C-alpha cells in the first residue's frame, strides 16, 4: 500500500480517531472487559498492552487477541489494533505457557549474533501465534552501572559494540517474522542507579560519551531499520538543558536528536506515563501533550482507565486550542498506519491460532542459548 492510499485513509479519519490511534492502553483481566471495550469503541485506541495479569494460557490469550481485534474491526475494519507486550526473555517474560527464553545477558555471554537472531525469530513466532504483533524488545541499554537494578541482566552487556551487534540481530529475526520490534530505552537507561518506575533518574554524561556508548546501539538499530523506539524516563542534562524534563518529554532529544541527527523515520513510543518518574512530576494530561509535542507518535498509559481517558481528552483539547497543530497529529498517525500496514495489514482483522506454536523447536533454541552463555 503506497503513501497516497495511506494518506487517503488518514484524510477519512476524524480527529478523535486519529488521536486514539496515538494511544496504547492496558487493562486488568483475562477476558474483554467493559473498560477496554469502552477504550476501543469510544476512544478509538490504536493499541493494547498485555501484562501477566492478562495472560493465563496460550489458548486464552489467543482468544482474547482475536476478540479485541474484532471489537476494533466492528468500528474500523481498516484500523487493526497493535497488541504489544514485554517479552524480552529472562526476568521479563509475560507469555504464560510459552517457552521461557534466557535473557539478554545470557545471549551477551554467548556473543553469537546468530543465536540472538534465532531468539528474536522464535519469540516472534510465539507472539504471532497468540495475536501479539509488537514486542517491546530488545533492550539496547548498556550495562555499565553495577547499581542499576532496573536494567541489569536485561542488557546484552557493557560493550556498546556487542549490544549493538546482538540487538540488531534480534531485531532482524523478530521483524522478518512479521512482529514489530521496539528498541529501548532511548537515549540509554544503563548508567543510573535509579529505577524510573520509582523516581526520575539523572544521567550526568558528556555528549561525547553518550554518542560513543549509550546512543551507539540505537544508531545501529536505526541503520538496520528498527520499526519502533521506546523513550526513557531519564533526565540527560547534556541533551536537554531544562531541569527536570525527561527524554520522553524532550523535543531536543526526540525531535532534534532522534529524528534530526540520527535520521530516525520510524515510530517513537513512550514508556508508560504512569511510572513514577513521570507521574510524580507531571499529570497524565500534561505528560501526554508534552510527549506528543516532543515528538512521540504513541503514548503508553498502561493501567488506569481514568488516566487513559484524561490523557486522550487532553490531547484533543490541545489540538482544538491550537497548542498542537493537526498537521503534527497527522504526521504521527501516518507513521502508525504505515507500520500497521507493513506488519499487520489493513485489509481485514488479524486472526491468531496458538496451535501454530512449535514448542519443541523453541525449547531447542532456548537450550542452545543457555549452553552458549
Answer yes or no: 197 catalytic. Answer: yes
Which residue is catalytic, options 34, 42, 197, 280? 197
% helix / strand / coil in the chain, to the nearest 5?
Answer: 50, 10, 40
Burial label for 320, CB within 10 Å (0-12, 13-18, 19+), is: exposed
Answer yes or no: 271 catalytic. Answer: yes
Q: Give the Cβ contact number of residue 195 at 10 Å.
A: 17
Q: Which residue spans within the chain are E strands per DSSP?
A: 23-25, 47-49, 82-85, 87-89, 92-93, 134-135, 180-186, 228-231, 267-269, 299-301
Residue 16's SS3 state is helix
Which residue is catalytic, options 185, 271, 297, 303? 271
Cis peptide before 187 (omega within 30 of 0): yes
Record the cell numbers describing residue 263, joined without a space: 535520521
Record the cell numbers describing residue 241, joined without a space: 538543558
106-110 long-range contacts, Cβ below 8 Å, gap at least 24?
106/369, 106/370, 106/373, 107/156, 107/166, 107/170, 107/369, 107/373, 108/155, 108/156, 108/157, 108/162, 108/163, 108/166, 108/373, 109/157, 109/372, 109/373, 110/369, 110/372, 110/373
Residue 65 pairs in a beta bridge with none
What is each CA distance from 41 to 10, 75, 203, 283, 334, in whole angstroms? 18, 7, 41, 25, 21
CA distance 273 to 190: 19
What is each CA distance from 132 to 68, 184, 320, 336, 361, in whole angstroms? 11, 18, 34, 16, 20
Nearest C-alpha neighbor of 13 from the set 338, 339, 340, 334: 334
φ, ψ of residue 101 to 5 degrees: the values are -85, 145
Active site amino acids: 197, 271
Amino acid at each position: 500500500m503506497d503513501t497516497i492510499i495511506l494518506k487517503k485513509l488518514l484524510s477519512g479519519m476524524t480527529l478523535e480517531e486519529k488521536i486514539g490511534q496515538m494511544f496504547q492502553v492496558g487493562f486488568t483481566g483475562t477476558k474483554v472487559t467493559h473498560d477496554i471495550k469502552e477504550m476501543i469503541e469510544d476512544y478509538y485506541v490504536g493499541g493494547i498492552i498485555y501484562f501477566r495479569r492478562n495472560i493465563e494460557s496460550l489458548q486464552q490469550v489467543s482468544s482474547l487477541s482475536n476478540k479485541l481485534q474484532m471489537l476494533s474491526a466492528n468500528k474500523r475494519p481498516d484500523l487493526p489494533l497493535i497488541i504489544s507486550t514485554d517479552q524480552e526473555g529472562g526476568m521479563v517474560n509475560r507469555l504464560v505457557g510459552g517457552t521461557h527464553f534466557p535473557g539478554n545477558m545470557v545471549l551477551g555471554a554467548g556473543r553469537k549474533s546468530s543465536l540472538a537472531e534465532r531468539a528474536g525469530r522464535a519469540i516472534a513466532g510465539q507472539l504471532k501465534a497468540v495475536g501479539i504483533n509488537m514486542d517491546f524488545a530488545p533492550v539496547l541499554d548498556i550495562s555499565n552501572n553495577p547499581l542499576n537494578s532496573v536494567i541489569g541482566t536485561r542488557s546484552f552487556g557493557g560493550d556498546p559494540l556487542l549490544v549493538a551487534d546482538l540487538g540488531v540481530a534480534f531485531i532482524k529475526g523478530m521483524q522478518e517474522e512479521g512482529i514489530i520490534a521496539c528498541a529501548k530505552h532511548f537515549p540509554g537507561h544503563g548508567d543510573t542507579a535509579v529505577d524510573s518506575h520509582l523516581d526520575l533518574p539523572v544521567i550526568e554524561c558528556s555528549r561525547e560519551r553518550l554518542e560513543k556508548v549509550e546512543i551507539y546501539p540505537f544508531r545501529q538499530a536505526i541503520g538496520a531499520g528498527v520499526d519502533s523506539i521506546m523513550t526513557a524516563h531519564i533526565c540527560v542534562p547534556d541533551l536537554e538543558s531544562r531541569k527536570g524534563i525527561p527524554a520522553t518529554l524532550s523535543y531536543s532529544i526526540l525531535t532534534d536528536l532522534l529524528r534530526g541527527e540520527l535520521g530516525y523515520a520510524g515510530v517513537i513510543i513512550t514508556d508508560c506515563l504512569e511510572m513514577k518518574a513521570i507521574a510524580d512530576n507531571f499529570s497524565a494530561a500534561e505528560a501526554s501533550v508534552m510527549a506528543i509535542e516532543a515528538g512521540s507518535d504513541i503514548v503508553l498509559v498502561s493501567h488506569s482507565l481514568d488516566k487513559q481517558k484524561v490523557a486522550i481528552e487532553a490531547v484533543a483539547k490541545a489540538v482544538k486550542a491550537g497548542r498542537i497543530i493537526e498537521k503534527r497529529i497527522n504526521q504521527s498517525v501516518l507513521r502508525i498506519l504505515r507500520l500497521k500496514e507493513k506488519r499487520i495489514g489493513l485489509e481485514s482483522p488479524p486472526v491468531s491460532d496458538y496451535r501454530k506454536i512449535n514448542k519443541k523447536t523453541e525449547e531447542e533454541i532456548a537450550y542452545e542459548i543457555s549452553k552458549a552463555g
